Amino acid sequence: MKLGAFSVSLNVKDLSASKAFYEHLGFSVFGGDMEQNYLIMKNGETIIGLFQGMFENNILTFNPGWDQNAQNVEGFTDVREIQKHIKSKGISVDPEADESGSGPASIMITDPDGNTILIDQHV
């Protein structure tokens, strides 16, 4: 199973302050929009998302179909196949993707310690 590009999505209180902090650590803006209260930042192959007011907790994020540069890749595992596999292991998925669909979709699961995992397919 190929989960795709990995990033950590951080719930931040002050997007500008967080942007400046991570720039001091060598990250630069890779995507997003200050006006929409989120930025995607990158340092080498490491990606973090800074999100102000969008969710409560930090989220581990995987993007099937993308590499670490948000470029489409061939031969990825579709989010609906990932969902089927996860459910077959007895893991609850909420929300679920429409298994009859295709293209972009997302699912969320929670690990045993309460960490949220988002599997967000854009292709």
Q: What is the pLDDT of residue 79?
A: 98
Overall domain count for the chain = 1
In CATH, what number is assigned to the domain containing residue 69?
3.10.180.10
User: Under 8 Å CB-to-CB from 98, ≥6 apart: which residues?
Assistant: 80, 105
Q: How far apart are CA 94 and CA 45, in angstroms?
A: 29
Q: What is the pLDDT of residue 37?
A: 98
- Mean pLDDT, residues 77-91 taken together: 97
pTM of the entire predicted model: 0.91
Domain, as residue range, for 44: 5-121
